[in-house]
Every structure is written in structure tokens, then in C-alpha cells.
A and B are shown apart, each in its own frame.
Chain A
Amino acid sequence: MHKSQIIRSLWDSFRDLLPIIVVIGFFQFFVLQQPIPNLGKMAGGIVMVVIGLSLFIRGLEMGLFPLGESMAYAFARKGSVLWLFAFAFALGFGTTVAEPALIAVAAKAAEIAANAGVIENTRPAMDSYAFGLRLTVALSVGFAIVVGVLRILKGWPIQYVIIGGYAGVVVMTFFAPKEIIGIAYDSGGVTTSTITVPLVTALGVGLASSIRGRNPMTDGFGLIAFASLTPMIFVMGYGMLI
């Protein structure tokens, strides 16, 4: 990588970050009318964020994208649908079960359930509730990726599957306990982490471009959409069962 390229990618990352700096600066000076505390530490942090973002994007193009695509091609060449589903499920389940955002949400949900008297207000009861919830969400994401891959193979239009999922969410909302709804709706958004998204996107696009008759634009995207929809349904279901 040339020096000018490095400077360019650092500048790009800085530009990505600029809106946050402007917003925080504006509110701090003009609305709250306070000075910035710890200016030096903040500047250091911003430099780190810029370096981190540049490295991340470089790594994405070198590692994650080609890997996701080459695996998609390999599975398509191998022609075994069963193994492809197994891989899709493992990828969805494995990346979600250890997701830090999900661990935080699950702990919060356990607290809510304990306060509402759904489960005993003790440490072990809450821990097992939170663990059960994590497994539920991870299963739901594994399931979602499998359904998404099946959709790409079959070429189903995405909107029908998603609308079906929405209907599921709406129906579940009427039956689920009121306390779980906010958490359930949020859990859809938190399951897809920064490393999962590029891998899964590359997998979908790679699959769609290696199967004849599929268009990577119409058919390749959509895996993330499934992965953010099923957790809502599964979490509400979990709230009803326990």
C-alpha cells in the first residue's frame, strides 16, 4: 500500500467521523453551553477511531469479502444443499450466541422478568432465563440464515417472506407479555454484529452470483433482513412460554 493511499483512507475515515464530532460540538457549545472536558483525551480517542475504521475497511476488502464469496462458490460447486444449510445455520447460530450486545440485552430482559414476577428474583433463576433467551435468539438467527439461503436457491421474491414475518410479529405482539415487547423489538436490531454483516452479505451475494438465473442485486441481499426479523418473533415466544 502506498503512502498516498494510506493518507487517503485515513482521510476518508475522518470524514466518516466528522458528523459525530460536529453534532457533539454543536450541542456542547451552543445548547448546553459548556466547554469540552478532557480535550486531549478526546483528540487521542478520535485518532484511534480513525485508524481503527481505516484498518477495518482495508481488512474487509482483503479478508472478509473474498472469504465469504469463495465459500459461497465452493458450496455452489459442491452442490450439496444439506451442507450449505448446515453451514448457514452454524454461521447464524455461532455468530449470535457470543454476541456481546445480545448478552447485555438478555441480562436486561432477565431483570425485567424478575421484577414483573415472571421468574424468581434470584441470581440463578435470572441467569438461566438470560441464557435461555440467548439460545433462543441464536437459534432464531440460525433459522433465519437457513431460510434466507433457501430463498436465494429458490428465487422467491423477498417481500412475501418478509411480509409473512411481519404478520408473525404482529400476531405475537398481541399475545406476548407487555414487558417483553420493547426488548423483543430491539433484539432484532442488536443481533447483527459488525463482523457478521460483511461475511453474511458476501455469502449471499456470492451464492446469488454463482447460481444461474439469480441476480446478485435482487437475490443476493436480504439475509440480514431475515436475521433481524426472526429474533423478534422468537423472543416474544420465549416471553410467553416462561
Chain B
Amino acid sequence: MSELLQHLFKVTISTVFDVMPIVLIIFGFQWLVIRRPIPHLKNVVTGFVYVLLGLAFFLVGLEEALFPLGELMAKQLTDPAFIHGVEHVAGTLHWHDYKWVYLFAAAIGFATTVAEPALIAVAIKAQDVSGGVISVWGLRIAVAIGVALGIALGTFRIVTGTPLHYYIICGYILVIIQTAYAPRSIIALAYDSGGVTTSTVTVPLVTALGLGLAGTVPGRSVLIDGFGLIAFASLFPMLTVMGYAQLSRRRAAKNHVQQDDTGG
């Protein structure tokens, strides 16, 4: 127990150091440029302390509970012995032998994204600003589906060894096409949701999966093929969030028509 407390203490200190530049910049500008006291200073400071403590608890808990098992799992699922079974001869693996890996990639991508604190923050803000048209859960599920698709496709790329930039460039083209059709008000939020999906929870597990896979699939280099999953995870949410907005617009339009029918 004391070991755990010590660890927690260490993580808290390092989080404080990570946040130091932000605090310095904010207070520096506040005092030197804006020259006004921060409104509700006491609340803000308490909030900062909550955020710091919360993040430290969160990280230590993840390290204690979920990361070791998740990383071990990524290793075991990508292990050739698990994939071929023992009787199989090496060198006869096809991309479809890795079905559990794709499924795990999608599931873990979805699950970690739902728990991603930065995404929760943006979703709360989006619900506030949109007056409830975008719901916190709708946005989070849309983003999580995007990450799941992205990471599953990313593991497929590692297995087949196709170049990363072809996928990403195709993804960009899809984003541009969809932008032309999506409701204007969602576009900025959709673009943002690409970047917020991948922070504290998703990155470590997904990186472990990518590096493990690149290390065990014959003919792949860890250095060239192991990276790129995060890029997939930041691209696909843009597509699914715009899709979510299109769906909710269509549903709203349909309701509207129905109301007119019954009303008229």
C-alpha cells in the first residue's frame, strides 16, 4: 500500500511539472497583460487542484489495473503461436488469420475512447454550445466508432504491410468529400474530434498493439510499420462525427415531416 502511495505521489509531482508551463503562461499573461484579477480565483484554483489530483489518480489506476493486462493481451494475441495454433507450419499465414487481432483492435479502440477525459471535455462543451443538439453521448459514441474502425484498419495495414500514406491520403479525400455534404455547424467540431481522441488512455495501449504486431508479423519492421495507428485513430473520427451529424439532421427532418403530417 505504501508503495502505491509513493507511486501516486510521484505521478502527482510529475503532473504538476507538466502543467507548470501552462500555469506560468496563464498567470503571466493575466498579471502582466490583462492586469485584472481572475474572476472566482478560489474556484479556479480548486478546480486546477481537482484536475491535477484527478489526472494523477487516473494515471496510476490505469498503470496498476489496465495497462499491464492490456499490453500483455496485445502481445499474446499477436503471438504467432496463438494465431497459427501449434500444428500450423510457419510462413503460411494470411491476413485473415489475424481476425482476433482486428476484433481486439476495434474493441479496445472503442472502449478506451469512451473513457478518454479530453474527449469528455470537448463533448461537454459541444453540448453546451449547440444547445443540446449534439449530445455528450452521441458525440462520444460517434468518435469511439471512428477510432474502432480506424485502429482495426490500421492493424490490417500492419499485417499486409501496405504503405501508411496511401490510406491516410484516401482518408483525407473522404474527409474532403464528406465536408461538402455535412451540416456546416458540425465541421469544426468534427475536425477537432480527430485530435482529441488520442491522449492518456488510448495511446499507450494502441502503441503496444502496433509495436507487438509489427514485431511478430513476418517481414514487418517495428520502426517502419509499428507506428501509424494513432494517425488512423485521429482520421476516422472526423468521418464518423460528420456522419453522426448527417444522421441526426435526417432524423430531425423526418420528425419534422411527421409532425407536419399529424398537425396538418
Contact = CB atoms under 8 A, between A and B. Distances in A.
Binding site secondary structure of chain B: helix
B29 A189 contact: no
A67 B17 CA distance: 19
B176 interface: yes
A188 B65 contact: no
Nearest to A225: B191
Interface string A191-218: 0111111110110010000000001111
Contacts of A50: 61
Interface in A62-115: 62-67, 70-71, 74-75, 78, 80, 83, 86-87, 90-91, 94-95, 97-101, 111-112, 115
Nearest to A188: B234
Contact of A186 (B26, B175, B196, B227): B227
A181 B167 CA distance: 13
B108 A23 contact: yes
A115 to B, nearest CB: 7
A183 B110 CA distance: 23
A19 B110 contact: yes
Interface stretch (B69-77, B87-95, B255-263): B69-77
A170 B29 contact: no
Contacts of A75: 34
Contacts of B86: none
Contacts of A101: 199, 203
A55 B57 contact: yes
B22 A205 contact: no
A48 B61 contact: yes
24 contacts: A20-B201, A27-B104, A32-B73, A32-B82, A53-B54, A55-B50, A60-B124, A61-B47, A63-B43, A63-B44, A65-B125, A98-B18, A157-B187, A173-B169, A179-B224, A185-B168, A189-B195, A189-B203, A189-B234, A190-B230, A217-B126, A219-B188, A221-B192, A224-B194
Interface of B: 4, 8, 14, 17-22, 24-26, 29-30, 33-34, 36, 38-40, 43-66, 69-70, 73, 76-77, 82, 100, 104, 107-108, 110-112, 114-115, 117-118, 120-122, 124-126, 129-130, 164-165, 168-169, 172, 175-176, 179, 184-185, 187-189, 191-192, 194-201, 203, 223-231, 233-234
Interface of A: 16-17, 19-20, 22-24, 26-28, 31-32, 36-37, 41-67, 70-71, 74-75, 78, 80, 83, 86-87, 90-91, 94-95, 97-101, 111-112, 115, 157-159, 162-163, 166, 169-170, 173, 178-179, 181-183, 185-186, 188-190, 192-199, 201-202, 205, 215-225, 227-228
